[in-house]
Amino acid sequence: MQQPQHLKAKEVAARAIVAGDPARVVQLSKMLEDAKLVNENRGFITYNGSYHGVPVTVACHGVGGPSLGIVFEELAMLGARVIVRLGSTGAFLKGMKIGEAVIPTGAAYIGGTLQQYIPDAHITPVPSFDVTTELVNAVKSEGLKYYVGPVFSSDAFYAEDPQFVTKWVSRGYIAVEMECATLFGLGMMKGVKTGSILLISDNLAEMTPMVDAEYLKPYVERAGRAVLQAITKVEV
């Protein structure tokens, strides 16, 4: 496999945080010490810096499993050994509120990117236990309300049918997003530790409208600190 052309191994830390929204990546970069922009090819902006002296890379992964899969593969090729996603999610359960956190324990999927990697089986994508444990401890220390449970990774943002929420809630899932199954599955296959914190942007059970990125900024600030605290404690 060819090496990525726009980054070199020395420009990727062993610990990486990824997000789909470039503006969120910029916001996270401002929490780093000595942050330096090292890539902006095709909008996949990437910063290097450190948090309390520990090197950290922050990168944009775009939207959906295929996009995240490319970024994951290239970060792993260049030395990332822990990759944590800070994303957003649609809540499935009544009472879950905008800005609260979901820490996934697994992610369901239907086809998509993982089927390209494993066409003859359907795996169970789960994050790394030690990463998830550190994320839970960190959100507690930040005073964030959080939920822990499995999520569904959708490949089609607008394809939900009227029974979508009811169906997935009946199966034990608590939220929907688009990338965690690919992240966790590739992590399992490639020997890279993974985890995620997802901020609730809307509640599908209560039909609340989705808030924009600007509204979530203060929540991202707190969740960002939690992710940085957690990832710097994970052994690589």
Give the 3-state secondary structure of residue 88.
strand
Contact 174, 205 (CB under 8 A): no
Per-residue pLDDT, 41 = 85
Half-sphere exposure of 142 (CA within 13 A, CB side): 25
Predicted pLDDT of residue 159: 74
Q: Within its chain, how far is the Cα of 100 from the centroid? A: 15
Residues 202-220: what's their mean pLDDT? 94
Question: Where does residue 152 fall: left (phi above 0), alpha (psi -120 to 50 degrees), or beta otherwise?
Answer: beta
Q: What is the pLDDT of residue 161?
A: 73
pLDDT digits (tens, 9 = 90+) for 169-183: 999 999 999 999 999
pLDDT on residue 2: 40
126 pLDDT exceeds 60? yes
Q: Is it the case that residue 3 has pLDDT exceeding 50?
A: no
C-alpha distances in Å from residue 193, one per residue of 129, 161, 215? 9, 34, 30
Does pLDDT of 233 surpass 60?
A: yes
User: Span 181-189, mean pLDDT?
Assistant: 98
Q: What is the pLDDT of residues 73-100, one digit of tens each?
A: 999 999 999 999 999 999 999 999 999 9
Query: If you average pLDDT over every residue of the chain, what do you get?
Result: 93
Average pLDDT over residues 12-16: 96
Return the structure tokens found at 192: 């890279």
pLDDT of residue 1: 35
Mean pLDDT of 204-212: 93
Q: Report percent pLDDT > 70 for the chain.
A: 95
Q: How confident is the model at residue 209 (pLDDT cuts 50, 70, 90)?
A: very high
Total-model pTM: 0.94
Please compute the mean of the pLDDT values over residues 55-59 and round it to a whole number: 97
Report, as an integer, the average pLDDT of 141-163: 90
Give yes or no for a contact between 232 and 122, defined as CB atoms under 8 angstroms apart. no
